[in-house]
């Protein structure tokens, strides 16, 4: 831009005409917008792919523990999720590129992690389709769904084909080839003799029967640590969730006496770690504020405990989270933040 | 150890561009366009007409109310035009154009007696006559701020050298170069309001300013005043009045209230320097320090600029552009206003101009809210911007008001942090305009 141009601009001002410095080319191309004029680099896409990345160790562990079938389940589930999302976005005349924001991949991945390793491959297809179509897009797509899509898909499979969903496979090197039940199921049906073989260490590294993504606690914790480090999730939901399950299990899950329960066993078995760090923390279906998140976490913990203890299922994480999802609007309403300098009345 | 305030964000600061550039006084323009509304409040009334000869420092407009300000000629010359001209705000404002020939442009120092022995009322009178306004950006007339209603006791004066806006370094440079003068200005402020405690707030990323200020406080002894330097954490919006009070004194200004409700007055360091110059040299507010920076500027600089200098006339002072500027922001990049033209005058409230090239504009497509809760987490006023956004979108302004939209002071942190790139600040501004 030369000085000459600006003086032409000035001339315009002096004449008092309502022209905006037409003398200069630069001024015609200036961008006008309301601030802030700088934005954080974080985007929805980045968050979704980071969560996906953080789940990879648990997936690798699952494939390692249960064999290559698990990989097929995961891949089929993700591909179905992407395809369903793309078709429905096209039907709704939305931008197809939204497929690549990572949310569909994440839903497919989480659904696969919530399936037993030996399910036939049409199961992840049906589940993934349901998760995306009914769990997410029916409500209006990303950001509008009330229930966690992956868990909706799992609930659908659980209700439709319960036999497949409760047939378990032991880890490939398990000594006990006959027992194909999850530790929580053994506890539920009071098989305490068999439970004795299950050490805390085996639970921690994932040497047990269970869903693909939930078994290897150490891999899940690595992923969760990454999410904490990058500040994608906060402590509010996972810590309150796990702590309330631990306290309630310790208090009421002992053999006939109060406060003798093996809290660690109940934390390490079942899908609690996967649920608390990766599914209850789902932004869309959890409360907005910190206080609401704490209420939500405790609610999930109590629900999980109640289902495990009193309901027909040995494991209650997924239903607990789904039930608490329904309470999110009301939690949000009653935990609305009080602004700075707020006074009553 | 300072206290904490809730929320806040950490934008990259880019202050190193101009951090080590001393404030230069290089350029006196041949023509200035002085808007008659440079401050918050009612516009001043011109007392000159076209054809009048004015000297630098002469009054050209007088205040029209309590919250208004005197305006002075910033160069000697002839009034050639009084008309509506573009300013940094969207609307045109009545402005006085002065064009100079070969007159002497130096301001003559006129000292009126011993500044130390002036009474409270005389000092306030000097500040009013000098047309001093808050130099931090809002440009609130200083004499109005320094005359609290009877019954309000002011114990604490906080000198705000936080400068939390990215890119800007003019407060930092003033603190480095005019340290003693700022402390003198602070003493005057404390004398006017009768405060016993003075605090100087600086963010911990301005180490050189902290060092200079600490040294100056140790060497200038004042038995009546308890001056303390407080180093605050670098966080945006640390420099906002309510947040700085919270960080230093752990006092919460009630919603809708003013700092004087908790016995505080907050003044910018630049204001303190202007007060010093007015009281000691009788110099009105005819120039100010401006940071000119940004990625498309060839040589980012700090400049003393006469009020009314057109931005387009300053181009030579910063060496022109290395890349084509695509966005001109008056103020910092967080709260500043984007301009449509270079022909805007520098006014009393402009602390910096940031030029962004194509790469920095960062226009990103808005996507749908994923309820991540980050805006709720970082809102320093404890609001829920996303909830307010939905109310404003549905034009439910009554509910937005109940949820406290009036408390938003438009710092822009919510729109900065939003991963879905929702322009939350646009909605806040629209909603606030609708309820008032």
Note whether B370 contacts A: Cβ–Cβ < 8 A: yes
Give the integer Cα–Cα distance in Å for B435 and A62. Answer: 56
CB contact under 8 A, A40 and B416: yes
B361 and B51 Cβ atoms separated by less than 8 Å: no
Mutation for testing the B interface, residue in A339, A343, A344 having most B CBs under 10 Å: A339
Tell me what percent of the residues of chain B surpass a pLDDT of 90. 65
Work out how many CB contacts closer than 8 A connect A with B: 203
* Smallest CA–CA distance from A97 into chain B, residue: B367
- Using an 8 Å CB-CB cutoff, list chain A residues near B312: 6-7, 9-10
The pLDDT value recorded for residue A345 is 52
**pLDDT confidence of A23, banded at 50, 70, 90?**
very low
Query: What is residue B382's DSSP assignment?
Result: -
- Among the partner-chain residues A27, A37, A288, the one whose CB lies closest to the CB of B342 is A27
Q: What's the whole-model pTM score?
A: 0.89
Give the integer Cα–Cα distance in Å for A104 and A51. Answer: 12
- Using an 8 Å CB-CB cutoff, list chain B residues near A9: 312, 341-343
- For residue A141, the distance in angstroms to the closest alpha carbon of chain B comes to 9
CB contact under 8 A, B361 and A290: no
CB contact under 8 A, A341 and B252: yes
A-contacting residues of B 218-247, CB under 8 Å? 242, 246
DSSP string for residues in A112-154: HHTS-TT--THHHHHHHHHHHHTTTGGGTSTTT-SS-HHHHHH
B-contacting residues of A 255-294, CB under 8 Å? 283-284, 286-290, 293
Note whether B50 contacts A: Cβ–Cβ < 8 A: no
A177 and A236 Cβ atoms separated by less than 8 Å: no
B417 and A40 Cβ atoms separated by less than 8 Å: yes
**What's the rounded mean pLDDT across residues B249-277?**
92
Give the integer Cα–Cα distance in Å for B198 and B248. Answer: 11
**pLDDT confidence of A8, banded at 50, 70, 90?**
very low
**pLDDT confidence of A272, banded at 50, 70, 90?**
very high
Give the integer Cα–Cα distance in Å for B40 and B130. Answer: 16
Order of all β-strands in the sheet with B156-161: B226-232, B197-203, B156-161, B264-268
The pLDDT value recorded for residue A179 is 53
- For residue B62, the distance in angstroms to the closest alpha carbon of chain A comes to 24
Mutation for testing the B interface, residue in A2, A22, A40, A85 having most B CBs under 10 Å: A40
| Residues A78-131: tens digit of each pLDDT | 999 999 999 999 999 988 888 888 999 999 999 999 999 989 999 999 999 999
CB contact under 8 A, A30 and B404: no
The pLDDT value recorded for residue A19 is 38
Q: ipTM value of the model?
A: 0.87
Look at residue A21 and tell me whether its pLDDT is greater than 50: no
Nearest CA-CA partner of B273 in B331, B156, B352, B351: B351
Nearest CA-CA partner of B297 in B329, B325, B321: B321
- For residue B372, the distance in angstroms to the closest alpha carbon of chain A comes to 5
């Amino acid at each position: 831009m030369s000085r000459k141009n600006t003086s032409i601009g000035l001339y315009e001002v002096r004449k008092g005409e309502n022209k905006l410095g037409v003398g200069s080319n630069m001024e015609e191309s200036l961008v006008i917008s309301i601030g802030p004029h700088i934005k954080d680099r974080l985007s929805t896409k980045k968050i979704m792919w980071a969560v996906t990345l953080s789940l990879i160790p648990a997936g690798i562990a699952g494939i390692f523990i249960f064999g290559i079938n698990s990989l097929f389940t995961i891949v089929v589930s993700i591909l179905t999720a992407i395809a369903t999302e793309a078709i429905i976005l096209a039907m709704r005349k939305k931008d197809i590129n939204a497929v690549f924001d990572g949310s569909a991949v994440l839903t497919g991945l989480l659904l696969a992690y919530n399936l037993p390793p030996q399910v036939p491959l049409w199961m992840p297809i049906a589940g993934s389709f349901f998760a995306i179509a009914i769990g997410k897009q029916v409500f209006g797509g990303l950001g509008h769904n009330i229930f966690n899509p992956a868990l909706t898909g799992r609930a659908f499979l659980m209700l439709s084909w319960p036999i497949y969903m409760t047939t378990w496979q032991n880890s490939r090197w398990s000594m006990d080839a006959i027992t194909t039940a999850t530790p929580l199921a053994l506890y539920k049906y009071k098989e305490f003799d068999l439970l004795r073989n299950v050490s805390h260490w085996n639970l921690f590294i994932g040497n047990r029967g269970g869903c693909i993504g939930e078994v290897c606690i150490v891999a899940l914790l690595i992923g969760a640590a990454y999410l904490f480090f990058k500040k994608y999730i906060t402590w509010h939901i996972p810590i309150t969730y796990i702590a309330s399950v631990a306290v309630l299990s310790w208090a009421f899950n002992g053999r006939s006496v109060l406060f003798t329960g093996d809290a660690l066993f109940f934390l390490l078995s079942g899908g609690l770690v996967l649920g608390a760090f990766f599914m209850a923390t789902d932004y869309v279906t959890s409360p907005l504020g910190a206080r609401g998140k704490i209420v939500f976490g405790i609610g999930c913990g109590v629900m999980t405990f109640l289902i495990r203890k009193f309901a027909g299922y040995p494991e209650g994480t997924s239903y607990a989270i789904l039930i608490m999802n329904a309470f999110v609007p009301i939690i949000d309403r009653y935990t609305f933040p009080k602004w700075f300098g707020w006074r009553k009345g | 150890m300072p206290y904490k305030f809730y929320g806040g964000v950490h934008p990259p600061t880019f202050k190193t561009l101009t951090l080590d550039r001393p404030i230069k006084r290089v350029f006196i323009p041949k023509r200035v366009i002085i808007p008659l509304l440079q401050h918050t409040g009612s516009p001043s009334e011109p007392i000159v007409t076209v054809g009048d000869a004015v000297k630098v420092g002469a009054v050209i407009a007088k205040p029209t109310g309590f919250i208004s300000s005197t305006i002075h000629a910033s160069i000697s010359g002839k009034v050639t035009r009084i008309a509506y001209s573009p300013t940094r705000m969207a609307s045109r404002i009545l402005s006085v154009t002065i064009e100079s020939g070969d007159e002497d442009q130096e301001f003559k120092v006129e000292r009126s007696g011993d500044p130390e022995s002036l009474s409270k009322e005389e000092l306030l009178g000097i500040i009013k006559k000098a047309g001093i306004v808050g130099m931090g950006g809002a440009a609130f007339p200083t004499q109005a701020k320094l005359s609290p209603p009877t019954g309000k006791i002011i114990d604490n004066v906080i000198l705000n050298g936080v400068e939390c806006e990215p890119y800007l370094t003019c407060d930092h440079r003033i603190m480095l170069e005019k340290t003693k003068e700022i402390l003198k200005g602070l003493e005057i402020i404390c004398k006017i309001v009768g405060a016993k405690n003075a605090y100087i707030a600086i963010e911990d990323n301005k180490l050189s300013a902290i060092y200079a200020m600490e040294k100056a406080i140790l060497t200038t002894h004042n038995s009546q005043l308890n001056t303390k330097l407080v180093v605050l954490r670098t966080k945006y919006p640390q420099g906002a009045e309510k947040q700085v009070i919270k960080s230093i004194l752990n006092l919460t200004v009630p919603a809708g209230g003013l700092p004087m409700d908790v016995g505080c007055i907050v003044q910018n360091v630049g204001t303190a320097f202007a007060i010093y110059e007015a009281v000691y040299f009788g110099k009105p507010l005819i120039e100010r320090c401006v940071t000119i920076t940004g990625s498309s500027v060839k040589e980012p600089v700090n400049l003393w600029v006469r009020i009314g200098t057109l931005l387009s006339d300053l181009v030579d002072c910063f060496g022109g552009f290395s890349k084509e500027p695509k966005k001109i922001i008056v103020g910092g990049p967080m709260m500043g206003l984007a301009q449509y033209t270079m022909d805007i005058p520098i006014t009393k409230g402009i602390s910096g101009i940031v030029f962004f090239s194509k790469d920095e504009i960062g226009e990103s497509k808005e996507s749908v809210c994923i309820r991540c809760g980050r805006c709720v987490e970082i809102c320093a006023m404890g609001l829920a911007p996303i909830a307010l956004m939905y109310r404003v979108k549905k034009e439910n302004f009554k509910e937005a008001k109940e949820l406290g939209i009036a408390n938003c002071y438009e710092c822009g942190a919510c729109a900065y942090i939003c991963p879905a790139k929702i322009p939350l600040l646009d909605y806040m501004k629209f909603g606030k305009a609708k309820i008032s």
